[in-house]
Every structure is written in C-alpha cells, then in structure tokens.
Amino acid sequence: MTVSATDVEATLRYIVPGFVALKVFYVLGLKTRRTDLEWTLWSLLAAALIDAAVGVLNPPDSNRRLLIAFVAAVAAGVILSIAWRQVAKRWPVRRMEASRRAWDAILPVPHWVQVWTKNDNLILGYSRVVASSVETDKLDLYIAEPMWVDAKSGDRKAMPGVAGVLISEAEIRMIQVMEDGGPDQE
C-alpha cells in the first residue's frame, strides 16, 4: 500500500486544524492537561466540524481549503477561549472542576497568602504563579512583597531589597489563601 499526496493532504486537513483549535483553546482558555488519546479524539471531532464548515465555502483547491481550515481553527480556538473565560468568571466552580489541581483553580488570581514550608518557615506575601500544571509537573510559587513571619510571636519582618521569593511546590507544606485585604488582614 502506497501513500499518495492526496492521502497526506486529507490527513492534514482532518487532524491538524482540529489540533490547532484545541491547542489555542487550551493555552488561552481552559489550561488543562490531556492524554494523547484525548488530544487525538478531540482533534478529530474539532477537525470534522471545521472541515464541514470550510466545505460549505467550497474553496476552489485543496491548498486554499487547508489555509481556510487553519484560519478557522485559530479563530475557533480564540472564540472558545474567550467564551471559557467568561464562563469561568461567572461560575468559578466550573473553572475549579476543570482544573487539574486546586493550585490551578485558585492561585492564577493573585492573593495574599501565608506559605508554610516543610522546614517550618512562614512567609507572607502576594502570590504569583510562575507556571501552571499544564506547563510543568513541578510548580513554583512566586511571593511578591515577602515577609518572614515569626511562628511563635507572629511578628512580621520585611525583607529589604528582596522583590520576591520563589518557592518550589515540593517545599510547601501548606498555603493559606487570604481574602483580599493584604498583609494586615487578620
């Protein structure tokens, strides 16, 4: 069995635009990790829908058809991302349900946090997530405006000249997320 150029073009037309649409959606919107099987199945479904939509336009040749499919895939991914962000903003529970970890659901929005490390240090500051669990399995948490907190007395000591502290997820024992209000909120 030989593979022709037409076979290759048909494969690209069906798989790649769907993959592009999903990748744009996951990077800009949902931000969850998927297995290869899930990527393949969702890509095929998305590509079939994209190909059907492009087929309605009836492009004159296969190159234009593929180009229109790529543009449609990127547009679909962006539109789905915008829609997902609106859903997540309106119903935060949906974002949490779709998140791989609680870290992804709660910390992308900066909060004042108290972080207990495994060696019993307590750091207070403004959280910034350096990466999501889609990008890496070993997450870090960046704490801006950090203060050391004395575990016994509760006294806070500023860290002069330090813009922030980067803490590996593996070193974190517990994170207390505080309501908006900053370090003076009790």
Q: What is the pLDDT of residue 78?
A: 94
- pLDDT digit string (tens) for 24-34? 988 888 777 67
149 pLDDT higher than 80: yes
pTM for the predicted model, two decimal places: 0.58
Mean pLDDT for the chain? 81
Q: How sure is the predictor about 79, in pLDDT bands with cuts at 50, 70 and 90?
A: very high
Instruction: Assign 3-class secondary structure to the chain.
Output: CCCCHHHHHHHHHHHHHHHHHHHHHHHHHHCCCCCHHHHHHHHHHHHHHHHHHHHHHCCCCHHHHHHHHHHHHHHHHHHHHHHHHHHHHHCHHHHHHHCCCHHHHHCCCCCEEEEEECCCCEEEEEEEECCCCCCCCCCEEEEEEEEEECCCCCCEEECCCCCEEEEEHHHEEEEEECCCCCCCCC
- pLDDT digit string (tens) for 95-144? 776 766 666 667 767 788 888 899 888 888 888 766 655 555 677 788 88
Q: Which domains does the chain have, with CATH numbers?
A: 5-98 (no CATH), 102-177 (2.30.30.100)
185 pLDDT higher than 70: no
184 pLDDT higher than 70: no
Q: How sure is the predictor about 73, in pLDDT bands with cuts at 50, 70 and 90?
A: very high
